[in-house]
Amino acid sequence: MSINKKLFVILAVLIVLAATSYVYITHSSKYKTQKIQDDTGSTVSIAPNTSLPYTYLNNIIAQSGAGCSVYYKSLTSGDIFYNYSGKMPAAGMIRPFIMAKAMEEVEQGNLQLEQKFKITADNRAVGSSVLDKKKNMEEVTLKEIIEAMIVNNDNTATNILIDILDTDSINTYIEQHGYLDTVLASKLGMEDKKSEEKTGSAGKIRDKKNYTSVNDLMTFFNRLYYNQCVSTSADRFMLETLKKHADRSRLLALLPKTVQAAHETGDAPGVQNDGGIIYAKENYILVILTDRSVNQGQTLKTINQISSIIYNTVMDREVFKK
């Protein structure tokens, strides 16, 4: 073999080794975690007057294995902090906005809570623990639909409500009320059904995720707390419904069982979300949105820890030090 051929073979081997190393490194959990943090800017930015242990919180967030967006606001002192505030996949966190639009229609007399609607096969979806027990064409009231959607994260109920209200009308409501990062793009739990939504006219895959942000959810829950969302009676109904939410595995997992919250959760592949009003020594709003989790267990643990740290700090400012 000539010298030139030997050099060519050595060069080819080196290129293959370099490519293999690149693929291995970029597909490792450590690389993915770091990339997520770089992309989402997951570094906590704190208001100067905060009493929270932001360095400790920042370390916890850095270990989340996901893009992690956090927003806290005390409803007593006004103390706040947040980190990344851009769009994040909403998953079930789109539901509070759908509920608010429904209650606006009730307030305007266009719908009634006792009005009945039929369950159809078109709206059947995975993740429907309440309406799965009912038959097609069986009737349920608007109140039952809203409660199933919020309390039990029932996707079939969510989809029925989307059809009742119309996607465009929901998005118009969202836009008109200043929720700038929130958009309803598709129904929930319909991934296994054939849909023309998967591709556009040019054959390109379209992004049909529903989006929101910690900013929009903070605005929503803040308005709800102060009865500035729809109306006094509608807001009271929404608050009481959110207080019945059944999932305590995230914000409430490490908090005393007696702690009450008006909150909503959401999850999808790589996504775990929770946000709402926590009733404590000082009532506060906490919203945590995650995306592209490379370790769902670690991400869930991060949500648990962030919530626990904030709750304990609110209850006793000396528990954690900066």
- Residues 50-105 have pLDDT tens digits of 677 878 888 888 888 889 999 999 999 888 888 878 899 999 999 999 999 999 99
Position 28 in a domain: no
Neighbour count for residue 145 (Cβ, 10 Å): 27
pLDDT given for residue 185 in this prediction: 96
Give the range of the structural domain holding residue 129, as residue numbers without chain letter: 37-315
Position 157 in a domain: yes
Position 17 in a domain: no
pLDDT of 318 over the 60 cut: no
pLDDT given for residue 30 in this prediction: 40
Tell me how many domains the chain contains: 1
Position 5 in a domain: no
What is the pTM (predicted TM-score) of this model?
0.82
pLDDT of 11 over the 90 cut: no
Position 20 in a domain: no
Please give the structure tokens belonging to residue 295. 């370790």
Position 19 in a domain: no
Position 11 in a domain: no
Position 185 in a domain: yes
The mean pLDDT of the chain is 84
Looking at the chain, the whole-number percentage of residues with pLDDT higher than 70 is 77
pLDDT given for residue 195 in this prediction: 42
Range with the poorest average pLDDT among 38-52, 84-98, 205-219, 229-243: 38-52
Q: Report residue 322's pLDDT band, with 50, 70 and 90 as the boundaries.
A: very low
pLDDT given for residue 19 in this prediction: 54
Q: What is the CATH number of the domain that holds 208?
A: 3.40.710.10
Instruction: Using alpha carbons, list the distances in angstroms from residue 70 to 156, 191, 225, 250, 276.
Output: 29, 28, 19, 13, 12
Range with the poorest average pLDDT among 66-70, 100-104, 287-291, 313-317: 313-317
